[in-house]
Structure 1
Amino acid sequence: MGGAGRTDFRARQPPDRRSRPGQARGPGLKPAGPAVSESENSEFENRVELGRLNGAWGTGGWVKVFSLTDPPENIFDYQPWRTSGPPGLLHVRQWRRQGPRLVAQLDEVTTREQAESLHGMTLTIDRSELPGAGVGSYYWHDLIGLAVYNRDGEPLGEVSGLLDAGAHDVLEIRRSGGEGVLLIPFVTGHFIDKVDLAAGRIDVDWLAEWSDAD
């Protein structure tokens, strides 16, 4: 018995306000921010990346927005945006969908030149500003790094990522000893016995000899 193979999966992007009971919520959220020195890490380790600015759109300080949220418009639910460089904070005055892209007018940006200067700027939010995931639901970034054990108490590895398989989410687990990657469907009551964030572990109904390719 095994999980599904990789070919049908696509990585879902952060963060998502939708929550399915017992399933991972807020896909792919990860600490974000610019490259920083060790002394600065504490400032950025609790950031979650929302997207980035892709340069000016038209005039009047409008910018093109690349969103990592699902759906993309959810990026505007998180305010203010923290940036990977000056000005530090950005407030959205208004936004709209313009063809295939999202564009926004920012309080801090009034000219096309200013908008162009922000090209490539990473947009983040503090984890503490995210809404609660709710009982039985989890933000994906909270699951990254958790140790995974089966019912026999055997360590299977560590959660290295999550994938969206459509009907359910899938844990991507880096096997103990560096022996490849294991994929386990995140289905509570079937494959997932317990998620204990405080203990830093996930208990699963999965034998050590099973692989996602079986």
Structure 2
Amino acid sequence: MSDKICVGAVAGAFGVQGEVRLKSFTADPEAIADYAPLTTEDGEQSFDLQITRAIPQGFAVRLTGVRSKEEADALKGTRLFAPRDRLPSLPDDEYYHADLIGLAVYDTGGVELGHVKAVLNHGASDLLEVATAGQSATILLPFTLAVVPTVDLAAGRIVTDPPEGLFD
């Protein structure tokens, strides 16, 4: 498991005074400020942040050291990370997306189907994007208890009972 968890991403500049548009990936979107300072993935930049207002699809935020529209635009696409130990512990049936990526996916009979490439959420519920051996196309697996009855982080595996024909 990674010692850093992605909690947000900069979507670009907001206005001309150095504010950025920030998309929060935390369960309570405003709680992203509680985990500051946030760092870039490589750890080379660190930012304290102040949420100035809610905007569509996120927040307008002031990041330390960002004073102009050009500096804010340069950060577009930057993912922001918090140390795992600053984040809340999760109940047994909840997982950080970062912990699921890369896990092997097996069917209930023990046959390996692939590995988790990404965790997606387009509004309704999470989907696991599963890459299968020898195929360029991925499969979207609903991340529900009925379809994914077992997640074993210690063993690095997920057991699935996929809908009929999904992996054919």
Same fold (TM over 0.5): yes
Q: 1:65 is aligned with what amino acid?
A: R
SS of aligned partner of 1:117: helix
The runs of at least 4 aligned residues of structure 1 exceeding 6 Å deviation read 84-87
Counterpart of 1:117? 71
Given that residues 67 and 75 in structure 1 are in contact (C-alpha distance below 8 angstroms), is that contact kept between their aligned partners in structure 2? no
Pick the structure with more strand per residue.
2
CA offset at residue 47 of structure 1?
A: 5.4
Which whole-Å CA distance do the structure 2 matches of 1:172 and 1:90 have between them? 31
Deviations 1:21-47 (A, max 9, x none): xxxxxxxxxx8xxxxxxxxxxxxx845
Given that residues 80 and 91 in structure 1 are in contact (C-alpha distance below 8 angstroms), is that contact kept between their aligned partners in structure 2? yes
Q: State yes or no: 1:137 paired with 2:94.
A: yes
Larger gyration radius, structure 1 or structure 2: 1
CA RMSD of aligned residues (A): 3.5
Q: State yes or no: 1:210 paired with 2:165.
A: yes
Q: What are the ranges of 5 or more consecutive residues in structure 1 without an aligned counterpart? A: 1-30, 32-44
Q: How many residues align?
A: 163
Counterpart of 1:89? 46
Q: What are the ranges of 5 or more consecutive residues in structure 2 without an aligned counterpart? A: none
Counterpart of 2:10? 52
Q: State yes or no: 1:69 paired with 2:25.
A: yes
Higher relative contact order (CA 8 A, sep 6+): 1
How does the TM-score come out when normalised to structure 2? 0.73
* Paired-residue identity, %: 31
How does the TM-score come out when normalised to structure 1? 0.59
Given that residues 148 and 159 in structure 2 are in contact (C-alpha distance below 8 angstroms), is that contact kept between their aligned partners in structure 1? yes
